[in-house]
Amino acid sequence: MIAREANRYFIEGPVTLHNVAQFLAEGATFEGTDLVVDFGRVTTVDSSAVSLILEWVRRFNNNSKKIYFAHLTQSLRSLAELYGVIDLIPIAAD
């Protein structure tokens, strides 16, 4: 589930292969030109979370909008580093 508070979107619960499609669909409704997606409320991730982030970055870059990510969990950061894509993820100032 994604909760919106001002220009910040909070990802809540697990982000895994079982529900990543739901997050991708909900992300299609993101509004604004400079927004932050906050992973501070995420409980569990797998590699599909990295794919989700990269897809959101791709979509926003194609639409001249800016998207940033905050409070990435250590496991999410580790996965992004393992796949060599951590530098492709715009990190928000927390």
Dihedral sign computed on CA atoms, order 55, 29, 62, 65: negative
Rounded distance, CA 4 to CA 64, Å?
21
Structural domains of the chain ordered from first start: 2-88 (3.30.750.24)
pLDDT surpassing 90 at residue 18: yes
Closest CA to 83 of 39, 42, 53: 53
Contact predicate 60/67, CB 8 Å: yes
Is residue 7 predicted with pLDDT exceeding 90?
Answer: no
> How distant, in Å, are the alpha carbons of 1, 33, 81 from that of 37?
12, 13, 19
Stretch 61-72: mean pLDDT: 88
